[in-house]
Amino acid sequence: MVTRKDSPTKSPGISPGITLLFALVGGAGVGNLYWAQPLLGAIASDLGIASGTAGLLVTLAQVGYALGVFFIVPLGDTINRKRLIPAIMVCCSLSLAGCVLAPSFALLLSTLALVGFTNVAGQMLLPLAGDLATNAQRSRVLGTVASGLLSGILLSRLVSGVVADIFGWRMIYVFASGTILVLAFIMWRAIPVLAPRERIPYGKLLYSVLQVAARYPRARVLPLFGAPLMCVFTAFWTGLTLLLTAPPFSLPASHIGLVSLLGVLGVIGARFTGRVYDRGWAVPAIGLGLVLTLTAIALAGFGSSSIVAVLVSVSLLSVGAQSVLVLLQTMMVSIDPAARSRLNTAHIVSNFIGGALGSTLAALLWQVGQWGAIMSCSALVIVLALTLWLYQRDRTLALTRRRPANSAPQLKRCRSHKARALDASQRPSPALLSRRGWSALRR
C-alpha cells in the first residue's frame, strides 16, 4: 500500500529544529506589538503629539491582539493549521507595511490595531507544538516555544531602537513586514501535514472558548495571575521608556533598546519552566516569581535616579515575571489536550487585556505622578496577586502539581490510621486478611 505524500502520519514527536523554529516565529510575531515601545519619543516628536499620548500606540496594538486571539486562534482547533498559520502571517505582513505609510497619529493607531489583530500566529503555534510533542517532550517543548514568545518582546525593543536611530522609526516596520513574509513561506513548508479535525460552526466555536474556560477550575484561576502580571510587565516597560528618555538620563532609542537585553535573563529562566512543572514545583515557583517581581518594582521605585538600580530591577523583573507567565501558559494548555487552542485563547485574551490596561495606566499615571505613580500602582497589583496566591496555593492551584511519570506508586497513609490506599497491583489477597482488615482497606 502506497502512502500519499500529503497524507497525515502519526508523528513520533517534535524535533528540536522545529521547536526552535516555532519559538523564533512566535518571538518575531509578538515582537511586532512592541516595535513602537522604545520609539514613543521619536514618534511623538514626528507626529506632533505628547509622549504620554504616544503610549496609546502600544495599547491599541495589544487590544487588537486580544481581539485577534479571541476571534482567530480558536480556529486552530478545527481548521488545517498548515494553511491557516501562513495565511494569517501574510495578512500581518501587509498590516505592518501599512504602518510605513500612515501619515497621521490616528491612522497609525488604526493600523497598529490591525497589526495586533493579525499578529496571532505565535499563539496558534504553541498549541500546535503541544499536539506534535510526545508526553515526555510536551512540558519542555511548551516552555521553549513560550520563552520564544517572550524573547520577541525583549529583542524587539533592541532592534527597533538601533534601526530607528540609523534609518528613522518607519524603517523598522519595513524590516518587520519583510521578515514576517519570509517566515510565512518557511512555516508553510515546515508545518507537517496534520490529521483533519472535527468541523465546528464558527459561532459555536467562539462560544466554546467561554465554555471550556469555565469548565475547569484551574482555567478560571490561572488568568487571575496572568492578567495582573502582564499589566505590571507592560506598565513597567512603557513607563521605563518615558523615564529613560527624560532627564537625568535622556537616552536615545538605541540605548533604551540595549536595556532590554537584560531581559534575556528572564528568557533563560523561563526556558526551564517545563522542568519545574514536571517536578511538581509549579505552585511555589509562581509565589517566588511574584516576590521577585515585587522586589524589582520596589527597587525601581526607590532607585529611579540611579541607572544601576534601574538595570538591576529590570533583571529581577524579567526573571520573576517572565518565568511565571511561561509557567502559567504551560499549565493552561496542559489542562485538556483536545481544547488547547481554546484554552490558550482564553488565557492570552485575559493576559493582553491586562497588558493593554497596563500600558494605558502607564501613560495616564506618567502625566499624574510620573515613574513613582506607575511603580506604586504596580506594587499594589502584585500585592493583590500574592494575596490570591496565598489563598489558592493549597486549593485550585494545588491541582496543577504533577507526580513524575517514572515515580513508583506510593502508599498513602490515612491520618486516622484506619485505612491505606494501595495500588491495585499491590493489594494482598483477601484470603490473607481478616474480615476487619479488608473492610478497613476498602473504606
Q: What is the pLDDT of residues 322-341, one digit of tens each?
A: 888 888 888 887 788 777 77
SS3 of 420, please? strand
Query: pLDDT tens-digit profile of 36-89?
Result: 877 877 888 888 887 667 878 878 888 888 888 889 888 877 788 888 999 999
Residue of 58, 23, 422 whose CA lies nearest to 240: 58
How many residues in the chain? Answer: 443
Q: For residue 177, with 0-12 CB atoms within 10 Å meaning exposed, 13-18 middle and 19 or more buried, which class applies?
A: buried
Query: pLDDT tens-digit profile of 84-109?
Result: 999 999 999 999 999 988 888 889 99
Please check the confidence at residue 410 and state whether its pLDDT lies above 50. no
- Rounded to whole angstroms, the Cα distance separating 40 from 140 reads 36
**336 close to 39: Cβ distance less than 8 angstroms:** no
pLDDT of residue 144: 78
In order of 35, 239, 259, 412, the CA distances from 252 in angstroms are 15, 15, 11, 61
Please check the confidence at residue 395 and state whether its pLDDT lies above 50. yes
Query: pLDDT tens-digit profile of 141-160?
Result: 877 787 777 777 777 777 88
**Joined grid coordinates for residue 263:** 531581559
**142 close to 122: Cβ distance less than 8 angstroms:** no
- For residue 398, what pLDDT band results from cuts at 50, 70 and 90? low
3-state secondary structure 48-99: CCCHHHHCHHHHHHHHHHHHHHHHHHHHHHCCCHHHHHHHHHHHHHHHHHHH
**219 close to 346: Cβ distance less than 8 angstroms:** yes
- Rounded to whole angstroms, the Cα distance separating 320 from 287 reads 9
CA torsion, ordered 218, 223, 228, 234, to nearest 10 deg: 140
pTM higher than 0.85: no
Lowest mean pLDDT among 31-35, 97-101, 113-117, 284-288: 31-35
What are the backbone angles phi and psi of residue 194, rounded to the nearest 5°?
-110, 155
Please check the confidence at residue 228 and state whether its pLDDT lies above 50. yes
Q: Which residues pair with 420 in a beta bridge?
A: 413
